[in-house]
Every structure is written in C-alpha cells, then in structure tokens.
Amino acid sequence: MEKSVLQKYASLIVGYGLNVQKDQDVLIQANIENHDFVLLCVEECYRLGARKVVVDWLSQDLDRINYNYRSLETLSNYEEYEIAKLQWRVDKLPCLLWLDSDDPDGLSGVDMEKVGNALQKRGKVAKTYRDQMDGKYQWCIAAVPGKAWARKLFPELNDEDAIEKLWENILSCSRVTDDPVASWREHDRILKEKCDYLNSLGIDSLHYTSKEGTDLTVGFMDDSIFMGGGESALGSGIYFQPNIPSEECFTSPKSGRAEGIVYATMPLSYQGNLIENFWIRFENGKAVDCGAEKNKEILSKMLEMDEGASKLGECALVPNKSPIRQSGILFFNTLFDENATCHLALGAGFDNCVRCYEEKGKEKCKEEGVNESIIHVDFMIGSDTLDIDAITKDGRVVPVFRNGDWAF
Ligand code: ZN
C-alpha cells in the first residue's frame, strides 16, 4: 500500500481515533509483523505532542510456544513488574491503541482448556486494575493486515497480493476516503441520531426473530441507553473513537433478562479457534444450553469462564448495508465482523450504557443490572431475515429492524 495512504490511516487512528493530546502518554499494542506501520503511528503521536509512546510488541507464534511449554501456574500468574505496569496505567491513564492483525486460526492446536484456565486467573487480577481506569482513558482498536490473516481471507493470492487486498478492504471499511476525518464526523453524527431516536422510545425489551430460527427476547435495565460512535473520557472529557471501523448502536441489557433461542449467523473466532454454526438457549437471562457444528467444547468452556460469562452484556444494532457487509467478506475478526451485522455479546456489559453512570458509580451500575464477567465476546446474529421489535415500557410494539435493516 502506498505510504501516503498509510500515513493518512495512521493519522486518522491517532489523531481522530485516539485523539492524542499534548503531553499525554500512549501505549501501543501491535504485532511485530506490523513494525513499519507502527512506526508511522508512533511518529504521529509525537507530532501531536505525546510525552512518551510505549510499544508492546505482540506475536501469536510466541504465544503459541509459551502456551505449549509453560506450566499452567506460570501462565496464570502476573509477575511483579507486570503488576507494576498495570498500576502505571491506572496512575498515568495512557491512551491505548491496539492494532489487531491476528490470525483467526493462530492458536489452533493449542490446549485451550489450559489457556482458558490461565486467562481466567489472570483476568481476575487484571480486573481490579481495569475497574479503576474504566472509562477514564482514550482508546482505539483498529486493524492492520497480518500475513496469515490475509492468506486465510484470500487463499488464492500470494502473500504480497493477499496483504495488499486486505489493506484495500480494511481502508475502505474504515472510511479512509480523501478526507477521512470529515467522513467520520458525518458518520458519527448519523450514529448519534439513531441512538437518540432509540433512547426516546423508552424500550423495555427487544424481540428478535429470524428465518434461521432465532426467537429471543432481551430485557433492558430501566436506564439502559444506546450508544454509538465516539465517546468522551471521564474526567478529561476528551472525545475519542474507540473502534475504527464502527457501525453499531449498542447498549447493555439487564443481566438475567433473556429468554429464548438465538442462532449465530457467522463463525466466532475465539482465542484463535473458530466456533461454527452455533446456537445458544437462554432461560432467566442465563445460557442453559448450546450447540455448535465445530468447537462446541470451546463454546461451553467460554460460557463457564465465570458467573457472568453465560449472560448477555451487549445488544448491538448494525444494518446490513454497512460497508463491511457490502464488501461481502467474512473477516474472521470481531472488529470487522461485529460491524457487519447485528450482534450480542456474552460477558461484561458497559457501565456507560447506563444513564448518568458517572454519578452512579460502578456498584450502582451493577445493581441496576450491568453484567459482570472477565470475558466480553461478541457473536453475530444479523441476517437478511432478522426482524427486531422494541417493546416499550408503556406497552407499544415499535419496529426497529426489518429484514436486517433499520425500520425507521
Ligand atoms: Zn458491539
């Protein structure tokens, strides 16, 4: 890809996505494969006045070796310096940029039971620190091509052409136009307009039905609100765009209010494994049964990660005419696939989907029904036959989606 285009993308991510301010610190997590693009991002951070930029280099190949050779104990525990780093993040609230280029099958063959157990233990420790910085710092997830990921999507092409083609798709889905920031401002405005309408309805629950067999009712909290596009960091008030791309209006339902069955319409890439053609049945808000054509054990294990892992944390509405869906590509990557179509997420909900959450605080949000878990895993349920009705608090039935698209 031409350097001038990549430069534009880097400046969209860092300048508009993260919105790095003078004297802020920035933490970038990226695969070593993406070294050159990371350098563009780092320079862009400094150009905007960042005080210090730190890069955590990641490698799935290295992860795989570690998972295979290390004991469960060494995989599960944080070393003191790792704890110190979490504390540094709590104290300094650096902006966090995650450049995702993972191979969706990158961990296949690894003992996922062991990995799941280790992540469960680490998650518990990390959560204490995460809770303290929740909502207070700017963050952004964006994608860059990795070789294995590109080859999975375009197996007929050689490495170089596959990467180029993945770049083209990432950039067009991320609205990297002649003036990406202007495109994003307009897109952000439309998302906010949709959310305002949804929030004006006084929704008590959403009823999903589809030809795939989905028949699910998800209940909201009294104060659930839909969000979309950019957010403001607590305290500083700095506006940032957490996902590039982002096409969703989403909210957190009430933990414990979901009834019925839902069929996934896309495979789920979970920790380097693909779970395919699966369904989940809910009773009293809890997943009580599930099935999958492939990797059902991994799905079951995921649902058992902790008490909240079997409950819903997110309902997101995405029309089928999103540029990602229009690209016709299944990315095997949550950032893209979740923005192609409607989805739900198992696990943690979002405090900021509760009206006035800043004043209420974490405990009150939990009381109102924001689900708690160490996992947050999105799975896609949208299709051309998905209809969604909102049932309002005063008993009206308002069409929200018809045939996979906005009904208003
Ligand atoms: Zn989402």
pLDDT tens per residue across span 157-184: 999 999 999 999 999 999 998 999 999 9
Please, which pLDDT band fits residue 370 given cuts at 50, 70 and 90?
very high
User: Is 298 a residue whose pLDDT tops 80?
Assistant: yes
What pLDDT does 357 receive? 85
Ligand 1: distance of its center to the CA of 110 in Å? 27
**Environment of ion ligand 1 (residues, CB < 5 A):** 250, 316
Ligand 1: distance of its center to the CA of 316 in Å? 5
Ligand 1: distance of its center to the CA of 174 in Å? 16
- Between the alpha carbon of residue 370 and those of residues 309, 359, 398, the distances in Å are 13, 15, 24
User: Is 210 a residue whose pLDDT tops 90?
Assistant: yes
What residues contact 404, with CB distance under 8 A and at least 6 apart?
319, 320, 341, 342, 382, 383, 384, 385, 386
What is the rounded CA–CA span in Å between residue 256 and residue 218? 9
Please, which pLDDT band fits residue 361 given cuts at 50, 70 and 90?
confident
Average pLDDT, stretch 86-101?
Answer: 97
Ligand 1: distance of its center to the CA of 185 in Å? 20
First to last CA, the chain: 39
Q: What percent of the chain has pLDDT over 70?
A: 100
Lowest mean pLDDT among 4-18, 323-337, 387-401: 323-337
Q: In what order do the strands lie in the sheet with 249-251?
A: 227-228, 249-251, 312-317, 343-347, 376-380
What pLDDT does 221 receive? 97
pLDDT in tens, 118-159: 998 999 999 999 999 989 999 999 999 999 999 999 999 999
User: Is 223 a residue whose pLDDT tops 80?
Assistant: yes
Ligand 1: distance of its center to the CA of 253 in Å? 12
Higher pLDDT: 113 or 93? It is 93
pLDDT in tens, 300-335: 999 999 999 999 999 999 998 889 998 989 898 889
What angle separates helix 296-303 from helix 112-133, to the nearest 10 degrees? 40
**Number of C-alpha atoms within 13 angstroms, CB side, residue 125?**
16
Beta strands in 144-294 (DSSP E): 203-209, 215-220, 227-228, 231-232, 239-240, 249-251, 253-263, 268-270, 273-283, 286-294
What pLDDT does 403 receive? 96
Lowest mean pLDDT among 64-68, 83-87, 101-105: 101-105
Ligand 1: distance of its center to the CA of 266 in Å? 14
Please, which pLDDT band fits residue 271 given cuts at 50, 70 and 90?
confident
What is the rounded CA–CA span in Å between residue 196 and residue 186? 15
| C-beta of residue 343 within 8 angstroms of C-beta of residue 180 | no
Pseudo-torsion of CA 273, 111, 66, 278, nearest 10°? 20
Ligand 1: distance of its center to the CA of 227 in Å? 10
Local structure of 54: helix, strand or coil: strand
Please, which pLDDT band fits residue 273 given cuts at 50, 70 and 90?
confident
Average pLDDT, stretch 220-224?
Answer: 96
Ligand 1: distance of its center to the CA of 173 in Å? 16
What's the mean per-residue pLDDT of the chain? 95
Residue 402 CA to its chain's centroid (Å): 24
What residues contact 228, with CB distance under 8 A and at least 6 apart?
191, 192, 194, 195, 246, 248, 249, 250
Stretch (H or E) spanning 26:
strand 25-31
What pLDDT does 245 receive? 96
User: Is 272 a residue whose pLDDT tops 80?
Assistant: no
